[in-house]
Chains A and B, each alone.
Chain A
Amino acid sequence: MKRRAILAFMLDRPGVLNKVSVLIRKKMYNVDTLTVCSSRVEGISRMTITLREDDQAKVDQIIRQLEKFTEVISAKELDTDHSYWREVAIVKLEVDAAHLESFRGRYNFEVLDQKEEDILIIQLAGATRQIDSFLEEVGRQYIIEIARTGVAAMEK
């Protein structure tokens, strides 16, 4: 199913996140990712939700229902052609440091910690697909733990 990103700005009031997640549950979606942060304007939060839906009318409907919330100032869909979708992953993995270096150039990562010779914690930023393919290339069996932020998105 097609992945969608919805960007919404809303008043930073208690319970707003709850409201948004209740709506998404009510519409029977499983949220792919959901990130919230403060925006440039004080008191206004910025939320990026990604979920899967093929039907454009249904996506438009969610956006309208989001906009209906008293606290929501605006909501819109961001498509991949006209916006950047990025996430950050922190990965603890068992890998030969030299082998890891061979990924440099293709992937944008930074070593945060190297406790033992071949156990590293790295930070990796990029599109979801890029992070996925990095994990595939390294080999999922070498990954000890992973933390991903979920998608943050911005229009071009």
Chain B
Amino acid sequence: MTEKQIITGKNLMLRALKEKGVRYIFGYTGGAIMPIFDEMDKLGDFHFIMSRHEQGAAFMAQGVSRGSLSTDKPQIGVCMATSGPGAMNLTTGIADAHMDSIPIIAITGQVTTGVIATDAFQESDVIGVMMPICKQTYMLLAAEDVEVTVHEAFYVATTGRGGPIVIDIPKDVQNQSVSETYRFDAKTFRPSLPGFFYHPTPEREPLRRAIELINRSVRPVLFCGHGVITSNAGKLLQQFAEKVNIPIAFTLHGLSALPVDHPLSLGMMGMHGTVEANRAIMAADLLISFGMRFDDRVTGRLSEYARNADVIHVEIDPSEIDKNVACSVAINADVYRTLHVMLGDPMLTYKPRKRWFEKIDSFRQVMADDLRREIECGVGDDGRLLMKSIVHQLSVLTEGKDLIVPDVGMHQMMAARFYNYQTENSWFASGGAGTMGASLPMAIGIKLARPDERVWSISGDGGFQMNIQELGTIMEQQIDIKIVILNNGHLGMVRQWQTLFFDGRYAGTPMQSPKFGLIAEAYDIPYRKIEKLDEVTPALQQAIDHHGPILLEFVCDASEIILPMIPSDGGFGEMIVSRPGQEKTATRKSKGGKS
């Protein structure tokens, strides 16, 4: 007599994950997820990484998805948590993934079906909480639904605009066995979602009109958004820009799609974008935007945004078209395919645009000297280090080739602006949600996805302490990331707003930190504190030479600010280009765009 193998929900869950190429599972156990954990351990098919907080697991999963999308083996990050508090601790990381269109799969244990909706121990309405902050939720009520659902979840997560998926699985369903007649064939599986449309290929007519507008335009600007990264279209965009000779401005998430020092690059646009990008947008007669959504930090006050420009909007998500900025031509398609078709269009013409580039050069000059001086000086009035100079030195030392994972705040904007991104998909930031604490755990996922590249996690003293517990994960797994704290003793970005808009009243921003050296020691991570300018490069070099994780703490000037800045809700005309009290540059010179 042969022993019959009993197949249960947990077996099918892990089988489906394996089928979808999952290698890493990040998570934290607890009563309601124990059966899956137990099975995972028995199988040994996955590399399980225990985060020290479920939020960390969600960001690590993001790191895997973000980091690997440009490799020849894209992976989807998976995180797991128990019911109730475990699942609730995932929310921030999931909401963050949703805002940034990052496909991840979150699997949460749930109390047994018999006690659901009775306020059972560690029960929370996971689906109810997650529904508005993720792309799709599933609740599994039968073991036979597990594989179909997990496969559909991967399809939904990665098709069209990416996003996180939450699968809630009650404990009894994990242990439930399927009938002998149960069959599932992953090879032939096609999700049955008649309403889930996705138009990868551009239509002819809008393309024709787009090309017409491009050929006619005198002062065009290309926008490189996140969609360029997620569709791996950086090289195509560069070719396109060169072919038509049009400057490129980047959204925060568009950075690193192509070398940011390309002669046609204007750098980043928006609230802390470069003067040249923002002024060019103001003066433009045509914006050609690829894979972005005109977020308010990109546009400032909408009524004043690019009033004289036509807009061509290439975007995979139709609900983004005309949402914030009305467009003249909408191309609802994949960025890569659109660029591919456009590049082959014989009607596309090159123009020298001498006048336009001269104008842009004049925009470049507005802040160039100030910034150069600051970076060269390297310290503020009190002799403490300037973040921009540290980032600049890191950029020079690594030739702009490393992977940069900033946290959220002033240092993030410094890292966005002053690192010279050369490697495609080398910049990973929490953008839409702007979640402090994202960097440390996300960098772990990035390093696992890109083991052969150097990864820098750069945080402020505030954000670093929001997920500081993940040093435990780094220690345990010996994750080789270079951890940088730019410590200005304050919640710097908020402090900047207080300096500029709250008459210098610093409510809730000064911050005492622990001795990071002792923390590092506790986690067995080498540490160095840097206070002097001439130690910056040697310290960075030490981190590069060191094999394994290392923590560098730079003592920074609290009064440093990041400019330019378009005040929130302000128009582009209100861009602040010099520190108050240092009124050497007119701030509103060209208000109103085209004259």
Contacts and interface: CB of A to CB of B under 8 A. Distances in A.
Q: Does chain A bind chain B? A: yes
Contacts of A19: 131
Contact of A11 (B139, B195, B319): B195
A72 B128 CA distance: 19
Interface size on A, as a range, is 20 to 34
B193 interface: yes
A9 B197 CA distance: 14
Contact of A67 (B156, B194, B319): B319
Contacts of A140: none
Contact of B131 (A22, A57, A73, A74): A22
Contact of A18 (B131, B156, B195): B131
Contacts of B135: 70
B322 interface: yes
Nearest to A22: B132
A68 B139 CA distance: 20
A64 B318 contact: yes
A74 B196 CA distance: 10
Contacts of A70: 135-136, 156, 193, 195-196
B353 interface: no
A113 B361 CA distance: 83
A22 B319 CA distance: 16
B193 A11 contact: yes
Contacts of A61: 319, 322-323
Nearest to B317: A68
Contacts of B244: none
A70 B317 CA distance: 13
B195 A10 contact: yes
A83 B128 CA distance: 35
Contacts of B196: 70
Contacts of A15: 127, 131, 137, 139
A73 B193 CA distance: 8
Nearest to A63: B319
A51 B9 CA distance: 43
Q: Which of A10, A60, A68 has the most CB of B within 10 A?
A: A68
Interface string B143-187: 000000000000010000000000000000000000000000000
B195 A57 contact: no
A61 B135 CA distance: 18
A18 B323 contact: no
A71 to B, nearest CB: 6
Interface string A14-36: 11001100100010000000000
Nearest to B323: A61
Interface string B295-327: 000000000000000000000011101110010
A57 B322 contact: yes
A11 B156 CA distance: 15
A103 interface: no
B194 A11 contact: yes
A107 to B, nearest CB: 39
Nearest to A58: B323
Contact of A69 (B127, B128, B195, B318): B195
A108 interface: no
Contact of B319 (A10, A68, A74): A68
B132 A67 contact: no
Interface in B445-460: none
A38 interface: no
Nearest to B318: A64
A65 interface: yes
A26 B127 CA distance: 17
A14 B142 CA distance: 14
B194 A73 contact: yes
Contacts of B318: 64, 67-68
A47 B354 CA distance: 56
Contacts of B156: 70
Contacts of B137: 15
A57 B131 CA distance: 25
Residue of B317, B319, B322, B326 ringed by the most chain A CB atoms within 10 A: B319
Nearest to B321: A64
Interface string B120-142: 00000001100110011101000
Given A61-B319, A65-B319, A72 B132 contact: no
Contacts of B195: 9-11, 67, 69-74
Interface of A: 9-11, 14-15, 18-19, 22, 26, 57, 60-61, 64-65, 67-74
The 6 closest A-B pairs by CB, nearest first: A73-B195, A64-B319, A68-B319, A65-B319, A72-B195, A22-B132
Given A61-B323, A71-B193, A74-B195, 12 more contacts: A11-B194, A57-B322, A61-B319, A64-B318, A64-B321, A67-B195, A68-B318, A68-B319, A70-B135, A70-B156, A70-B196, A73-B194
Interface of B: 127-128, 131-132, 135-137, 139, 156, 193-197, 317-319, 321-323, 326
8 contacts: A18-B131, A22-B131, A22-B132, A61-B323, A67-B318, A70-B135, A70-B156, A71-B193
